Structure 1
Amino acid sequence: MLRLYRKGAEQRAAQLGFRLYDFWLADPEMSSARLRDILLARGIRGLILPPQESFGTKIEFDFSEFTAVTIGYTLEAPKLHRVGNNVFASVQMAYRKLQDRSYRRIALVVDEEVDCRVSRAFSAGYGSMSSNQQGVDTIPAFVCEGFDDKRFGKWYERWLPEVIMGTGPTLEEGVRPWLKRRGETPAIAELNLSEEGVTDSGVDQQLELIGKTAVSLVFSQISHFEYGIPETPLLTLVDGIWRDGERVP
């Protein structure tokens, strides 16, 4: 995922006459003060912060002489301008696409941490659709903290979904092996087709476009001499698009 964010950011930076450089604040030899001095010495005033590993991340850094944009939802503090996929709308779109294919028993499986990383937009988007569709069986989302075979088995046998929407390790390392071991064959819709070689149908979150948009936001701030932590942080959402793969639900 980071590779695609960076690819898009690098392309847009080149279009605007800039270059992209990598700095790692997590480097034990790189303090915030030292990084600030290095950036200013090199004339670097625009910063893009990619998604952090953990939700609720807080960064101590003096942004007063920089413009900055963060990608995704994991950075809690400081409150910077932000760009990310419109996960809520992406899940709704996927749900509608599956309905158009005559599926009625549509389910969501998502890891608790993954859902939290996007402010629970996966489960919220799913809930907004599953609870308000006439003629569609309402199946509660399976939200888990680490995949549990027995708990998933009880849920699956209770609801018998025709198609499962999901993403990440819970889908690849939990759901798929479980279904294969038991010979179950519901369709799968991937909610983040971010890696090359994925053959499922599902949502392309347009990570390259998100990277491009982040650079455009930084460029706009620099052009307007807007430095420091913004009084009113803006959230820019990029809609996902549906992509049919080799395995079409």
Structure 2
Amino acid sequence: MASTQTSNTSSSESAKRITLRDIGKELGVSHSTVSLALNDHPRISQATRDRVKKAAKKMGYSPDPMLAALASYRRNQQTKPITASLAWINAWPEAEDLRAHHEFDHYWKGAYEAAKQFGYRLEEFRLDGKFTPQRLHQILSTRGIRGILLPPHRHQPDWQDFPWENYSVVRFGRTLHAPSCHVVTSDQVSNTILAFVAMHKRGYQRIGFVAPEAELRRNGIIFELGFMGGQRMVPDAPKLPPLLLPRSKSTGERRQALVQWIEEHKPDAIFTSLTDLPQMLQEKGYRVPEDIALAATTILDTPIDSGINQHPEEIGRVAFLTLNSMINEGSRGIPKIYREILVEGSWVNGTSLPPKGESAAR
């Protein structure tokens, strides 16, 4: 009997479902116009989009999950023709320096390919003395571009009075302090714990962590928290303090601080984000990996081949999917509730951190 009631209830709800055609009939427009308006397509005027959304809400419209799944399946079977663009804003002093970082270039590639599957073209826009935020907004607005991806930046751009409220925006990483939009980045705490445990499993006991102090400040001491978590995961390993090198010190002073830390704490392996650490160690007479083995927070953009693959193309893909969802929902401007989406990395074995016995035998 209960089964019959459930079936009847389901049939009743199905019969009452408001469709796109119902909304179109109410407003005197086609169902395809309603669909495009609900998805914030730039081909539909803002006034029409607002009118359709208001009517849909008033009539109690909600998407059919089965039809949405079918539409998603069809999308995945073929690449859609390019119908709109998204903006990737590059405010680096030297534009080419951004994607010279392999990690950031993979962000671009992941986002670009994912966008193409949904009928978008990802385009890079410069922001500099000649190309102001006001000019950028004018161009984006004229072209009907409503989605923005913000890659990492070394310095904070001067956004002036750029109208973020007109755009759906997603940031990569934590380097940008503004705008306070949703973020997609690597799970640096989880990755650091993973690295510490993997290094310990390969026979290393005295595991240290070395990074620029400024980098930890930008990332909210995320790596350091992960390192402390890794130490707790392996309670029998000695707990070496991390070495944070301030950029205010000269190169010679930083290298001397490194030597003093090594002499005091005698690490047999170091987890690091410093790309020049192998060179610094070599100049001070330490062999890698015979004397000190190394693993990197990311195996890209570094001569260290052991460490974490942060899966940057997946980060790029997830950033686009997040942006696409926001565009479809009509979510724009600075969110009241901030989201941070983390992509987990994986450990990669390499020659810079062989099993402990192998490095000693060299």
TM-score with structure 2 length normalisation? 0.63
Could you say which residue in structure 2 is the equivalent of 1:160? 266
Deviation at 1:78, TM superposition (A): 2.2
Question: RMSD of the TM alignment (CA)?
Answer: 2.2
Partner SS state of residue 185, structure 1? coil
Q: State whether structure 2 residue 223 is matched by structure 1 residue 103.
A: no
Aligned runs of 1:35-184 on 2, under 5 Å?
Answer: 35-54=136-155, 59-60=159-160, 61-130=162-231, 133-146=234-247, 148-180=254-286
Q: 1:209 to 1:233 in 2, by over 3 A?
A: same
Q: 8 Å contact 1:57–1:74 — kept in the other structure?
A: no
Query: Which of 227, 235, 240 pairs up with 2:340?
Result: 235
Deviation string for 1:102-137 (max 9, x for gaps)? 211111111111222211111121122325632211
Q: 8 Å contact 1:110–1:170 — kept in the other structure?
A: no
Structure showing greater Rg: 2
Which 4+ residue blocks in structure 1 deviate beyond 2 angstroms?
A: 56-60, 128-134, 168-184, 245-249
Q: 8 Å contact 1:88–1:122 — kept in the other structure?
A: yes
Could you say which residue in structure 2 is the equivalent of 1:5? 107
TM-score with structure 1 length normalisation? 0.90
Query: Which of 28, 34, 38 pairs up with 2:135?
Result: 34
Deviation at 1:32, TM superposition (A): 1.1
**What is the one-letter code of the residue matched to 1:144?**
L
Larger helix fraction of residues: 2
Structure-1 separation of matches of 2:196 and 2:289: 25
Could you say which residue in structure 1 is the equivalent of 2:7? none
User: How many residues align structurally?
Assistant: 246
Q: State whether structure 2 residue 308 is matched by structure 1 residue 203.
A: yes
Q: 1:132 to 1:210 in 2, by over 3 A?
A: closer
Structure-1 separation of matches of 2:222 and 2:203: 25
Greater mean alpha carbon deviation, residues 14-23 or residues 171-180: 171-180
Deviation at 1:57, TM superposition (A): 5.8
Structure-2 separation of matches of 1:179 and 1:122: 27
Structure-1 separation of matches of 2:303 and 2:167: 38
Structure 2 unaligned segments of length 5 or more: list them.
1-102, 355-362
Deviation at 1:182, TM superposition (A): 11
Query: Which of 104, 120, 130 pairs up with 1:18?
Result: 120
Deviation at 1:93, TM superposition (A): 0.4
Partner SS state of residue 225, structure 2? helix
Structure-2 separation of matches of 1:222 and 1:238: 21
Q: 8 Å contact 1:87–1:118 — kept in the other structure?
A: no
Q: 1:227 to 1:58 in 2, by over 3 A?
A: same
Q: 8 Å contact 1:6–1:211 — kept in the other structure?
A: yes
Q: 1:225 to 1:204 in 2, by over 3 A?
A: same
Structure-2 separation of matches of 1:231 and 1:59: 20
Q: 1:114 to 1:231 in 2, by over 3 A?
A: same
Structure-1 separation of matches of 2:282 and 2:193: 23
Higher relative contact order (CA 8 A, sep 6+): 1
Deviation at 1:232, TM superposition (A): 1.1
